[in-house]
Structure 1
Amino acid sequence: MKSFDTEEYSFPHDKQIVEVHEDDNIDTLVCFSPIKWESVFQRPQHLMSHASKKWRVFYIEDPIFGVTTPEPELNIKELKKYKNLFVVSVRLPAELSASETIKTMESLLAKLCNDYKIENFGTWYYSIKSIRYTARLYPRVVIYDCINLIRNTQPALIDTENELISQTDLVFTNGKTIYDEKQNWHPQVYNFPSSIDKEHFMQARIELPEPSDQEEILFPRLGLYGAIDECLDIELLRALAARRPDWQFVLLGPIIGIDEDTLPKAENIHYLGEKPYQVLPSYISGWNAALLLVLTSKARQAHVPTRTPEYLAAFKPIVSTSVPDIISPYEAMGLVSTAENVFEFEAAIEEALSYNKRKEWKKTIDDFLKSHSWDVTWQQMRHLIKTNIIA
């Protein structure tokens, strides 16, 4: 593909081409995300798939730099499963400088806007760095969905985030810790904890056919799923597995950003890899309890374990490290147990293995989940978006 010049492809923000739905005021949402659409299905995918029911959505992934990419490549894939949802991936030559990257990305965005007549739109940011090449876009509303706190060791990224927030109409957060940090940074900050696809995970309340790679694993099984990354307390996992060789630890998810050789290895630790979202209930159904092994160092205090309501919907008791967004609301409501060290963890797991017999615990879960769904979350977000659209 040729490198598109911004002089050849200008951004179309003066003409009216796409029909505007009067009840929405915008017809397209352009989302910038560092999370690949095909990776672990999580908050960005849930929200953008809901957004696509009413608006066109262009989910633009952070560019990939490749030594075998001689020229910029813009790939656009319309997802058949969702109405009006397009995944946009970009590959750039590895040798591009920072300024060349910005210019090239501006060119590719201009081409995308022209080809798909993206004019009456809003922008939604997960990728903070993308603000560097979106200055020539003219959205009618800008949303920043903040799902992680930036560490003080990344001052340049903090400056970039400040620039993004200064241009934002709405800031959403996915947990109380992040909300408390951001609420004084912007006049419109709203906390929307990650929600749940209840019907999907409630399937795991009954015994489902065992996946072939899990069926031979002995019981009791203690499971977790999601990215296996720097937030995982691998030393706690190592210690638990050593102390209780009769317990089986099942981990589902890709290994991201850490050396695989550093992960604990034992006969009772099973790394089954990343699994499609659709089959997760089949795995969870065969677990006796779920674990949230999140590092509790200060650098990780803002980590929000988004899988918590999904485990609860499956009626799986949860034992977690002491993460602020787990302590409140989950532990405070008696839904989750937390522990400070390997000895407390072992005792809490022992107790958790009897939870499935507690009718009152299940009722508390169902009462809690009544007001939690991605559909409800999206409708509340969408209302705020509509009220902040620039006329």
Structure 2
Amino acid sequence: MNLAEQPGQSPILNAQKLVELAPQTRPTLVCLSHLRWGFVFQRPQHVMSRLAQNYDVIFFEEPVVSAGESPWLETSTPAAGIQVAVPHVPEGLDHEAVVSAQRALLDQLLAGREQGDLLLWYFTPMSLAFTDHLDAQVTIYDCMDELSAFMGAPAQLIDMERLLMGRADVVFTGGVSLWEVKQRQHGNAYPVPSSVDIAHFAVAREDVSEPADQASIARPRLGFFGVIDERFDIDLIDQVAQQRADWQIVLVGPVVKIDPQTLPRRPNIHYLGAKQYAELPAYLSGWDVALMPFALNASTRFISPTKTPEYLAGGCPVVSTPIHDVISGYGESGAVFIADTAEAFIDAIERALPLKGTDEFVQRADAAIAGMSWDNTCRFMKEQIECLR
């Protein structure tokens, strides 16, 4: 008996049921990012990887200059539901021409695919220049940092952010201190500090094989992973290394926007370069204390470092300079030490060194990050988006 022959079935109800069972076209989420997907695995990758479970994500990066006479688009699929799009533009184009090229390439990409509702997710206001013509169901501004305070920020970034604030339906901020500023500029803003994949970093609490480039480094080891740029306090690291030559300082991460020649060079400072996200727990496992030696300047005024909960999930005591969101979020945890001078930093490290692996410290670290997860963070973000659709 086929469906039409079943007794007691209304043709109208049957049609409704077929519509309900038909696969629905997923919304397309265009993420406009100043950070490249393959650079450092951080907030954009964590968030977009999870949102890709419900949306088709196009991760549209900033353009690169390459050989050729015409703009073209390089695409790849690094993860399920994620399409990374990198615009390539010829050398010599002026600003307006680059903007026009990006607009045309994105329009072609969108025109060539079946899509449901269009969602626009901005990590950088500068992308508004080539997307302001798009009719989005929901516009999201994820304000990770105060980008206008970063080295090399475009002069027009502040004006572009003001325009984006006027168009955005919802604003997320990378930390509480940044939200305190942005919520005065937008009526639907939420503090959404970066979270942590606890299971990923908890591997560092186990007996992990030492990475080859760290295995020969003596103990005790003080470690840092992350981008080494204008936010990194070079002088502080130099003073600590000079005053405590018996301590080994391990720095894992790419050097960007600053001259590598300005970095301190001492026998007990070890630059291991950029590593993959999957490799970080193995390095963290071999440290006795984790460092957050951020300079206190305009670029760090509103940061909320992702590495704080990552270090704690890995079971490592943390010593940080007095970053506002670190103090407010972890200052009373007993697992994170705050120090504002080189002498205080050294004293804090001395107090932190005996703690790793002790029951008391493990309990403090776990309490500090209890309930945190990227899944929960992304679930909250998605709820805000769906309320607006």
- Deviation, 1:45, is 0.3
SS at the partner of 2:215?
coil
Q: Distance in 2 between matches of 1:46 and 1:127?
A: 17
Distance 1:154 1:62, change over 3 A: closer
SS for the counterpart of 2:156 is: helix
- Map 1:1-391 to 2 at 5 A: 27-66=27-66, 68-79=67-78, 82-151=79-148, 156-389=156-389
Provide the C-alpha distance between the structure 1 equivalents of 2:278 and 2:20, rounded to a whole number of angstroms.
35
Using the alignment, how far apart are the partners of 1:299 and 1:290 within structure 2?
21
> 1:26, 1:122 within 8 Å by CA — same for their partners in 2?
no
Partners of 1:296 and 1:323 within 8 A in 2: yes
Deviation, 1:212, is 0.7
Kindly state the Cα deviation for residue 21 of structure 1 after the two structures are TM-superposed. 10
Q: CA deviation at 1:106?
A: 1.2
TM-score by length of 1: 0.90
C-alpha contact (below 8 Å) 2:289/2:353 kept by paired residues: yes
TM-score by length of 2: 0.90
Supply the distance in 1 between the matched residues of 2:381 and 2:59 (Cα, whole angstroms).
Answer: 18
Q: How far off its partner does 1:361 sit?
A: 2.7
The whole-number CA distance in structure 2 between the counterparts of 1:22 and 1:135 is 33
Q: Report the alpha carbon displacement of residue 357 of structure 1 after superposing the two structures with TM.
A: 4.8
CA offset at residue 94 of structure 1?
Answer: 2.3
Q: Verify the 8 A CA contact 1:241 1:268 in the aligned structure 2.
A: yes
Structure 2 unaligned residues grouped into runs of 5+: 1-18
Q: Is the 8 A contact 2:121 2:140 kept in 1?
A: yes
Q: Following the alignment from structure 1 to structure 2, what is the Cα–Cα distance between the partners of residues 24 and 244?
A: 62
- Matched to 1:340, the amino acid is D
CA contact (8 A) 1:25 1:386 kept: no
- Residues 37 and 87, structure 1, Cα contact 8 Å, conserved in 2: yes
In structure 1, C-alpha distance between the alignment counterparts of 2:107 and 2:154, rounded to whole Å: 30
Q: Structure 2: how far apart are the matches of 1:301 and 1:347?
A: 24
CA contact 2:231–2:297 (8 Å) conserved in 1: no
**Aligned equivalents of 1:73, 1:278: Cα separation in 2:** 32
User: CA shift at 1:193, angstroms?
Assistant: 0.7
Q: CA deviation at 1:37?
A: 0.5
Amino acid at match of 1:178: L
- Kept after mapping to 1: 8 A contact 2:231/2:299: no
Stretches of 4+ moved more than 3 A in 1?
A: 19-26, 150-155
* Root-mean-square deviation over aligned CA pairs: 2.0
Q: Which amino acid aligns with 2:73?
A: L
Q: Which has the higher helix share?
A: 2
Name the aligned partner's letter for residue 129 of structure 1: M
Ranges in structure 1 where 5+ consecutive residues have no aligned partner:
1-18
Give, in whole Å, the separation in 2 of the partners of 1:20 and 1:350. 63
Deviations 1:178-203 (A, max 9, x none): 01110111110001110001100000
Q: Judging changes above 3 Å, is the alpha-carbon distance between structure 1 residues 88 and 218 closer, same or farther for their aligned structure 2 residues?
A: same
- Structure with the greater alpha carbon radius of gyration: 2
